[in-house]
């Protein structure tokens, strides 16, 4: 597809990297010539120095031929105006980043309709939803859902002393009644698509697919469940903190937010009167301890500085807080955080990249591709894709054990008539099924690409 991206900041650059790697034709627009020079030197894209609301710039970019126009500048209003003009000039679909909470209520639907915006992106709101899901399932380090939550892929960390370390996957399935499938294992930054003989080790990050109820059943049998979160401490009165606190308070969870900016604290006190606001420096360990760090169920670090988030989270882990979640944007810091034992990491850039990649795949689906959903794992080293099975698929009604799949490919799930199936060798693929495939080291555009 031809995609025009207006705004090459952190989010825009991440989108350029993600979408260009999938083979889309990308035109990047930014008003800063140094940024355009840097982007075009790093990525195989066309760069234009100009304004995404300027008719001449848009015409030069070929807006009338664009399947998708994405506006992710630092200004919500500029993004909305850019999408309005792009649509009027011929772009088929438009996406705007809109971050201000004032725009994300009843007004948003009206503005989308009036300004011809196909999709709105709110990185902070998306990350808040991601964190909320992790708090709902504290044993997990990452949760992804497919087919309206019919199937989930849940990552969890095999810590020292784990009862399943040393077991093969076939042994693990034999000993547990839950219906699940281990679809990927990350060990020392290497991704494995395992078979039944694969033996788990302490330190592995294991990704398994199952329905939500079956995952809960498995974690209970493994003794890996944690108590329901009733109190949360948040460091940093950020936009993410606002969206998250609002959701938590609605669920009756006690929320305490620490920030050293008196204006931010006053603003949060007005908008979230049920939250406990603390004016103080969260990097001061005595402040955290005095405010009850050791007794809280979850600590979430959401300041604007990766280093502060990592250090404060590391301190919380050492104080044996049951659930610690850390916001980290820079990939090099994310790997450092993981080495320090911080395994629940969220990134607004990566979250938005996944959302837009899924939307781009959905548009391709409407133009002939049968990929419906896409998730990236382990910094893009593996992908999980959801395919619609078309009637002309060559391997209809053939047992999976008789299929010759390419190396590092796994069929992780089948959705048939809205019911999830954890596949075994005797299961088959039928027309109109949805098939979940995990792939490492390759990109798939069609379900037939999984076959030798």
pLDDT digit string, tens, across residues 209-264 = 888 888 888 888 777 666 789 999 999 999 999 999 999 999 999 999 999 999 99
Q: How far is CA 328 from the centre of its chain?
A: 13
The count of C-alpha atoms lying within 13 angstroms of the C-alpha of 115, restricted to the half-sphere facing its C-beta, is: 26
In the chain, domain spans: 2-121, 140-222, 231-321, 366-450
Buried b (16+ CB within 10 A) or exposed e, 17-32: bbbbebebbbbbbbbe
Task: Give the model's pLDDT for residue 368.
Answer: 47
Q: Measuring CA to CA, how many Å separate 254 from each of 44, 124, 131, 144, 258? A: 48, 21, 16, 26, 14
Task: Give the model's pLDDT for residue 225.
Answer: 63
Q: How far is CA 130 from the centre of its chain?
A: 7
pLDDT digit string, tens, across residues 330-371 = 878 888 888 888 889 998 888 888 778 777 766 765 554 566
Listing from the earlier edge strand, what are the strands of the sheet with 205-210?
Answer: 142-146, 151-157, 205-210, 181-187, 190-192
pTM: 0.80
Write the CATH number of the domain with boundaries 366-450. 3.30.70.1450
- Can you identify the CATH homologous superfamily of domain 231-321? NAD(P)-binding Rossmann-like Domain (3.40.50.720)
2-121 matches 140-222 in fold:
no
Helix, coil or strand: residue 439: strand
**Between residues 429 and 392, the one the model is more confident about:** 429
Q: Give the bridge partners for 144, in sequence order.
A: 153
For strand 205-210 and strand 231-235, is the pairing parallel, antiparallel, or unpaired? unpaired
Write the CATH number of the domain with boundaries 2-121. 3.40.50.720
Q: Which CATH architecture has domain 140-222?
A: 2-Layer Sandwich (3.30)
Q: What is the mean pLDDT of residues 31-48?
A: 94
- Residue 30 pLDDT grade (very low, low, confident, very high; cuts 50, 70, 90): very high
What whole-number distance in Å separates Cα of residue 310 and Cα of residue 326? 7
pLDDT digit string, tens, across residues 91-107 = 999 999 998 877 766 67
Q: Is the pLDDT of residue 431 over 70?
A: yes
């Amino acid at each position: 597809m031809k995609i025009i991206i207006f705004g090459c900041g952190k989010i825009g650059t991440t989108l350029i990297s993600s979408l260009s790697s999938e083979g889309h034709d990308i035109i990047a627009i930014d008003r800063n010539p140094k940024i355009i020079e840097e982007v075009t030197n790093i990525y195989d894209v066309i760069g234009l120095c100009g304004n995404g609301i300027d008719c001449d710039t848009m015409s030069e970019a070929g807006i009338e031929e664009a399947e998708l126009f994405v506006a992710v500048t630092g200004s919500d209003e500029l993004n909305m105006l850019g999408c309005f003009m792009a649509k009027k000039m011929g772009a088929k679909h438009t996406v705007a980043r809109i971050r201000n909470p004032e725009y994300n209520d009843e007004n948003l639907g009206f503005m989308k309709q009036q300004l011809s915006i196909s999709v709105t992106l709110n990185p902070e709101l998306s990350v808040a939803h991601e964190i909320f899901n992790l708090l709902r399932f504290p044993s997990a380090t990452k949760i992804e859902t497919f087919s309206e939550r019919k199937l989930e892929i849940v990552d969890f960390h095999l810590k020292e002393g784990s009862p399943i370390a040393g077991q093969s996957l076939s042994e693990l399935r034999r000993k547990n009644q839950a219906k699940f499938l281990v679809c990927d294992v990350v060990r020392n930054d290497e991704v494995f698509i395992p078979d039944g003989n694969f033996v788990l080790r302490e330190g592995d990050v294991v990704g398994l697919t199952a329905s939500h109820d079956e995952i809960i059943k498995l974690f209970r049998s493994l003794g890996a469940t944690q108590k329901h979160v009733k109190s949360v401490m948040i460091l940093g009165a950020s936009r993410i903190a606002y969206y998250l606190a609002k959701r938590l308070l609605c669920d009756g969870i006690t929320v305490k937010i620490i920030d050293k900016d008196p204006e931010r604290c006053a603003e949060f006190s007005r908008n979230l009167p049920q939250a406990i606001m603390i004016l103080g420096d969260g990097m001061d360990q005595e402040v955290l301890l005095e405010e009850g760090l050791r007794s809280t169920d979850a600590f979430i670090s959401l300041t604007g500085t990766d280093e502060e988030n990592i250090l404060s989270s590391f301190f919380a882990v050492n104080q044996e807080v049951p659930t610690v979640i850390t916001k980290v944007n820079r990939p090099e810091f994310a790997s450092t955080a993981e080495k320090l034992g911080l395994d629940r990491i969220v990134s607004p850039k990566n979250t938005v990249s996944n959302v837009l990649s899924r939307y781009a795949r959905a548009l391709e689906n409407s133009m002939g591709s049968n990929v419906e959903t896409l998730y990236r794992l382990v910094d893009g080293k593996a992908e999980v894709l959801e395919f619609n099975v078309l009637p002309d698929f060559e391997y209809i009604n053939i047992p999976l054990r008789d299929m010759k799949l390419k190396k590092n490919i796994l069929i992780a799930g089948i959705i048939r008539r809205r019911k999830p199936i954890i596949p075994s060798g005797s299961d088959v693929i039928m027309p109109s099924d949805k098939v979940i495939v995990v792939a490492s080291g390759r990109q798939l555009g069609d379900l037939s690409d999984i076959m030798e």
